[in-house]
Amino acid sequence: MKHIAIPVKTKYWKPGDDYISIIKSSIIDKVEDGDIVVLSEKAISVAKGRLIDESKIKPSLLARFIARFWIRYVWGYILARLCHLKTKNVYRLRNYPIKEGASHKQLALIYAGFLQALRNWSEGGIDVSNVPLTYACLPLDDPYGEVIRIQAEIQKTAKKLRVMIVDTDMTYSWRNLHITPCPKPIKGILSIGGFVAYVIGRAFRLKSRATPLAISSNINVNEALDIAQLAHKARGSGAGRTAWDMAKRFGASLTSVTWEMLDEVDHYPIVIVRSLNQ
């Protein structure tokens, strides 16, 4: 089934924003019956205030070990090559910030667990890109519940729509087997082993697509993955795909990007996906 993606530009969503009202007002003159409204999980999480100030986290010895040795050396010299990471990302891993990185890894240990903390980034869905200062964004506790709530509200537009929430973290596919490091994907995608799924997917160059976390109606897993990836490409990466990219864009340090800087960037937390067969 062929689809087209229509990215919808909005302001940067901040904690406390009425994101459902923003969604409704942004799509009202753009949607048609049968469309799928694909939403960025992180944008919703930020609007819901799911931010943690990592500067206030005291890292354990384990977190310091992960930041100083595991990331800089195991990832920087072994796993990065195995996973075919770009040269710039290999350099970043080999120069991983010890102080800030240890606090980040401690948050990952607390929130996501040991195997997720061993990931190079996006541990358990925790994200520090496109958020300011020393904040990290936690993933949604209940993406399916969120989808149902948003669906109920936007149906008031009098259009027959479906809603999907997507994480930019990848799902890796081999035939009908789909694995992801994301902790809460839709049914039919296996969340396994924290960093292990990422290493397997990257090392064997498996087909990678953004991960659908929840959708308001039943849909084939492969179609859901294709829609999530289409929306991911249409949305872009906002201020940057990683915290390093974001900092480089603004000429700032990793922890000195401000809310005002993020306001300057075009953001597309909503993508309307339309079937060409409807």
Delineate the domains of the chain, giving CATH numbers in brackets: 3-41+141-275 (3.30.1330.100), 52-137 (no CATH)
pTM score over 0.75: yes
3-state secondary structure of 272: strand
What per-residue confidence (pLDDT) applies to 157?
A: 76
SS3 content of the chain, % helix, strand, coil (to 5): 45, 20, 35
Considering the chain, what is the average pLDDT of its residues? Answer: 95
Other Cβ atoms less than 10 A from the Cβ of 4: the count is 11
| pLDDT, mean of residues 247-269 | 95
What is the per-residue pLDDT across 57-69, written as a single tens digit (0 to 9) for each?
999 999 999 999 9
What is the per-residue pLDDT across 4-48, written as a single tens digit (0 to 9) for each?
999 999 999 999 999 999 999 999 999 999 999 999 999 999 999
What per-residue confidence (pLDDT) applies to 229?
A: 97
What is the per-residue pLDDT across 75-120, written as a single tens digit (0 to 9) for each?
999 999 999 999 999 999 999 999 999 999 999 999 999 999 999 9
Reported for 258-266, long-range contacts at CB under 8 A and 24+ positions apart, including other chains, are 258/132, 258/133, 259/12, 259/14, 259/132, 261/132, 262/12, 262/130, 262/131, 262/132, 262/238, 263/11, 263/12, 265/12, 265/238, 265/239, 266/9, 266/236, 266/238
Tell whether the model's pLDDT for residue 278 goes beyond 70.
Answer: no
What is the per-residue pLDDT across 220-234, written as a single tens digit (0 to 9) for each?
999 999 999 999 999
Q: Could you tell me the pLDDT band of residue 213, with boundaries at 50, 70 and 90?
A: very high
3-state secondary structure of 242: coil
